[in-house]
Structure 1
Amino acid sequence: MSEVKEGELRAEPEGRRRASRRGVAVLVTVVAALVVLGAVAAVVGGLFAPPRQDGAGPAASPSASATRTTAAASPTPTKPVLARFDPAGPDTDNLALFGTALTKAAQSVPSQQVSAKTLTDALAAAGFGAGAMQRTADQTSANLQAPTLTVSVRLNGTCLVGQFVRQDASVSVELAAPISTGACLIGQTAPVG
């Protein structure tokens, strides 16, 4: 055996202890980050989850952050969907008509050919007024085809907001409160009409 000085014997275990403590600290940090990310995902997922069919869960009201449904889903309605927009009708009935009109429009042409005008024209055909509508642009600021298109209709104190996702040709709709300016969509919108 080679000779080992007393100081060297102490240095090796201390170095291992420091490395072990650093490893534990990194592990604790990673676990804490995962817990925080999981909590954030649960909160965000809860904000955008569709309302439950059994009546449990958040109530659909404009004061809630938003009520989101996927128009392609087929909930079991208790009464028929409106055939045309009814300004005196319940917002939820008009939301169902809004989602149906957007879904039919999105399915009328290949997803790469759907434009915001395709969506707003379908809403106008269903009786929604063009003056109450907003839509996003078909092109991004980089002059590329927009991956999503968003349209809205302002009804009294609420907004019907719909989004078409080009990648999977899906449509989702929600009933939401207007933003502080009174508009339904944030940012620059394209003219409707």
Structure 2
Amino acid sequence: MPATAPIEQPALKPELSAAENLAFFDHVNTQVVTANPAAQGRDFIDALVAAGFDKSQMQLTSDETTLGKPADSVQFSVAFQGECLVGQYGPASGGYHGAVRPALGTGGCLIGQTRPIDW
């Protein structure tokens, strides 16, 4: 019986482009959702940091609306090689979604108010 090749796990490759790291970004975030379907923003940020992404390059929207209600979705991003790895998760987004987007003129990745990542 022929030996099967081991399945290569996605890994962070900082020297490559954001698009070439999207599969790993998605892998990390999918694991968060699998482990905790009620995951909030900090859960994603902590997992991405543990996976090797640079916390100082991240942005995150609030888990709550301005009225103190749970947000319909949370967005989080990592500025990476001049582009942005962006994730979104929550009931209004139909589950987890990840994408590569151009960086904004501000150098950030998310439009609107973001919360401090100060932990």
TM-score above 0.5, yes or no: yes
After TM superposition, which residue ranges in structure 1, 4 or more long, deviate above 6 angstroms?
Answer: none
Hey, what's the Cα distance between the residues in 2 that align with 1:122 and 1:157? 22
Please point out which of 6, 12, 30 is paired with 1:103: 30
Aligned length: 112
**Over residues 142-175 of structure 1, what are the superposed CA-to-partner deviations in whole Å (9 max), with x where a residue is unaligned?**
1000110100000121000000023576111110
Query: What is residue 154 of structure 1 aligned with on the other side?
Result: 79
Aligned-residue CA RMSD in angstroms?
1.9
Report the structure number with the largest CA radius of gyration. Answer: 1
Unpaired segments ≥5 residues, structure 1: 1-78
Amino acid paired to 1:97: F
Q: Does 1:93 align with 2:20?
A: yes
TM-score, scaled relative to structure 2: 0.84
Q: Give the structure with the larger helix fraction.
A: 1
Hey, what's the Cα distance between the residues in 1 that align with 2:8 and 2:20? 9
Hey, what's the Cα distance between the residues in 1 that align with 2:14 and 2:53? 9
Higher relative contact order (CA 8 A, sep 6+): 2
Please point out which of 64, 69, 79 is paired with 1:144: 69
Hey, what's the Cα distance between the residues in 1 that align with 2:97 and 2:87? 6
Hey, what's the Cα distance between the residues in 2 that align with 1:123 and 1:82? 13
**Over residues 67-119 of structure 1, what are the superposed CA-to-partner deviations in whole Å (9 max), with x where a residue is unaligned?**
xxxxxxxxxxxx94532x221023223111111111110121132xx110001
Hey, what's the Cα distance between the residues in 1 that align with 2:16 and 2:8? 13
Hey, what's the Cα distance between the residues in 2 that align with 1:160 and 1:178? 9
SS at structure 1 position matched to 2:31? helix
Hey, what's the Cα distance between the residues in 2 that align with 1:128 and 1:105? 15
